[in-house]
Amino acid sequence: MIVKAILTKNNDFDTIGFKVIVNNQTTVFDWGSTGTSTSVWRKEVDVNKWATEIFTLIKLSGELEECEEFTSCFFETLRENERLGCYEGWKMKNADDRKARLKTRIINIIEKIT
């Protein structure tokens, strides 16, 4: 299995994207922008050196998707059961807080790698 991790930075050297690809075709982690203009540069990251962090990013990405899917399913279920009223409020603070924490952890790990 060939794993590549690619970091994308803009002209100001700010990190704008990070991607992990397996066997040159399957993206297992994708954050930010890959940048399509000529004003970005890409650098391949040493996967062996950062393996723990890269696998943590993949895991956190899955957890984040799970949180987002929960919210989507929650409202879909309410709508299907005609429980989604115009004047009802639904507190999703815990779910939103968890998503925010996961996003922060992802960003912190990417910054550590860069």
Task: Give the neighbor-by-neighbor strand order of the sheet with 40-45.
Answer: 26-32, 15-22, 3-10, 40-45
Query: pLDDT band at residue 103, thresholds of 50, 70 and 90?
Result: very high
Signed CA dihedral, 21, 56, 60, 106: sign only? negative
Residues 64-88 pLDDT 10s? 998 888 877 877 787 787 766 655 6
- Look at residue 110 in the predicted model and tell me its pLDDT: 93
Residues 5-37 pLDDT 10s? 999 988 888 888 999 999 988 999 999 876 666
- Look at residue 13 in the predicted model and tell me its pLDDT: 83
Residue ranges covered by each domain of the chain: 3-113
